[in-house]
Structures are given as C-alpha cells and as structure tokens.
C-alpha cells in the first residue's frame, strides 16, 4: 500500500512548473488553449496579502488569464465583476464579449478613467453601465447626458443626480448634468416632467423649453 506521504504534491494553478519564471508562465497562460486550466486559475482564491510575493505573482498571472479569450466567458465575466485590480480590469475592458465589458463598466472598483473610457463603448449597454457607475467622472457623465445615443433609462438616472440619486453630489456639477439631460431629445416624458420641477432654475427652465 502506498504511503500518502510518498505521493507527489499537487501544485496549485498559481505555482506553475518548478522554477518557471514569471514571464514564461505569463506567456504560457496568455496563449493557452486549455480551458480547464484557465477556468481553474480564474476561480482560484487569491493568496493571502501577507505573502506579498505570491500575491503579486498571482495577480500578474491573472492578467494573462483575463486577457486570453480561451478563458471561458463566464469566468471572464466573473473576473470583471469581482476583481479590484486595474491591470486585470483594463484587459477585460477590451474583451470582445459585450457581457464582459458590461461587467467591467459596472465594477465599482474601476478607476474613473477606465469607467470613462467605457462610456464611449460601441455597445449601448456598456455605456449605460459606465454612466451609472459612481466611479465615472462628472465630465464623462456630462458628455453622456449630452450624447443623443444615451437611452432614456440612463438619462433618467443622470437626471436624478444630486436630487434622488447621490444627494451629496456637488451641486453645480450635478445641475450641469441634469440640465444636459433636460435638453437631450432622448429624455423620457416622466424625466422631463420631474426636471421641470427641479430646484435649480436653469435645469427647470431647460426642461420647460422642451
């Protein structure tokens, strides 16, 4: 009978081959077509941050997994929803899958510049998710409120900034966004009706002019 202690240890997916350099393992994962390996890596728990070397190595390798389109799409969506790391989210923001990009756009750990980039995505759902993400800058929200491609539901959200939504928002910036919503031809009637009663006079007048 074989002694269990004599069995070789199973390596974790983050370990790689013995003495395998980070750059070599990164490239192997980036070009891998082994969906099972990529899935296992994507779903593996992060190492404890107290082990800084292992943590840094793992997150670097996770970037390769995130950027590999052989990684199952449900795993890429999972990473896009749950990861707080900019290098991984940047990779996923360029994904060919709309669902992955939407998940990145909605991630509240996005840097504001990344959320801002996604407000210009070709897909309306990605743009909407980014425009309703609180990490998106006021500049990009204003541009979204002015964009005639923005859908009525997103405009309704933007038209409530500083009033029903994000009530502690900077008054001037929020009012600028609401005024732009009031002037956007895609804004729905219910949103316009609310904006005609807006506490900011310029917003109310803009809505009344429609």
Segment 48-69, tens digit of pLDDT: 999 999 999 999 999 999 999 9
Same domain, yes or no: 210 and 172: yes
Share of the chain above pLDDT 90, in %: 89
The structure tokens listed for 33 are 């077509």
Q: What is the pLDDT along the chain (210 residues), one digit of tens a residue?
A: 444 444 444 445 554 554 568 899 999 999 999 999 999 999 999 999 999 999 999 999 999 999 999 999 999 999 999 999 999 999 999 999 999 999 999 999 999 999 999 999 999 999 999 999 999 999 999 999 999 999 999 999 999 999 999 999 999 999 999 999 999 999 999 999 999 999 999 999 999 999
Among 105, 135, 165, the domain boundary falls at 135
Q: What is the pTM of this model?
A: 0.86
Q: What is the largest CA-CA distance in the chain?
A: 87
Q: Within a domain: residue 11?
A: no
Among 95, 110, 135, the domain boundary falls at 135
The structure tokens listed for 83 are 């990861």
Same domain, yes or no: 73 and 176: no
Q: In whole angstroms, what separates CA 119 from the centre of its chain?
A: 11
Give the contacts of 59 (CB within 8 A, at least 6 positions apart): 46, 85, 87, 88
Same domain, yes or no: 107 and 155: no
Per-residue model confidence as pLDDT tens digits over 108-141: 999 999 999 999 999 999 999 999 999 999 999 9
C-alpha–C-alpha distance, residues 156 and 169, integer Å: 16
Same domain, yes or no: 120 and 188: no
The structure tokens listed for 3 are 């002694």
Range of the domain at 174: 137-210
Same domain, yes or no: 209 and 197: yes
Same domain, yes or no: 131 and 159: no
Q: In whole angstroms, what separates CA 210 from the centre of its chain?
A: 34
Same domain, yes or no: 25 and 127: yes
C-alpha–C-alpha distance, residues 167 and 142, integer Å: 17
- With contact defined as beta carbons under 8 Å apart, do 37 and 71 qualify? no
Among 88, 112, 135, the domain boundary falls at 135
Q: Within a domain: residue 181?
A: yes
Same domain, yes or no: 107 and 78: yes
């Amino acid at each position: 009978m074989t002694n269990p202690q004599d069995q070789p240890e199973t390596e974790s997916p983050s370990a790689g081959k013995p003495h395998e350099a980070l750059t070599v393992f990164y490239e192997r994962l980036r070009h891998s077509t082994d969906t099972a390996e990529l899935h296992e890596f994507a779903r593996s728990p992060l190492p404890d941050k107290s082990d800084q070397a292992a943590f840094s190595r793992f997150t670097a390798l996770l970037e390769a997994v995130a950027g590999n389109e052989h990684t199952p799409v449900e795993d890429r969506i999972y990473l896009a929803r749950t990861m707080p790391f900019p290098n991984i989210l940047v990779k996923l923001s360029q994904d060919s899958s709309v669902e992955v990009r939407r998940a990145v756009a909605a991630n509240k750990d996005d840097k504001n510049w990344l959320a801002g980039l996604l407000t210009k995505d070709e897909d309306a759902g990605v743009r909407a998710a980014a425009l309703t993400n609180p990490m998106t800058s006021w500049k990009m929200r204003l541009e979204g409120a002015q964009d005639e491609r923005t859908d009525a539901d997103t405009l309704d959200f933007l038209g409530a900034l500083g009033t029903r939504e994000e009530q502690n928002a900077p008054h001037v910036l929020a009012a600028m966004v609401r005024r732009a919503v009031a002037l956007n031809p895609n804004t729905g009637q219910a949103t316009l009706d609310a904006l005609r009663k807006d506490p900011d006079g310029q917003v109310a007048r803009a809505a009344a002019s429609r």
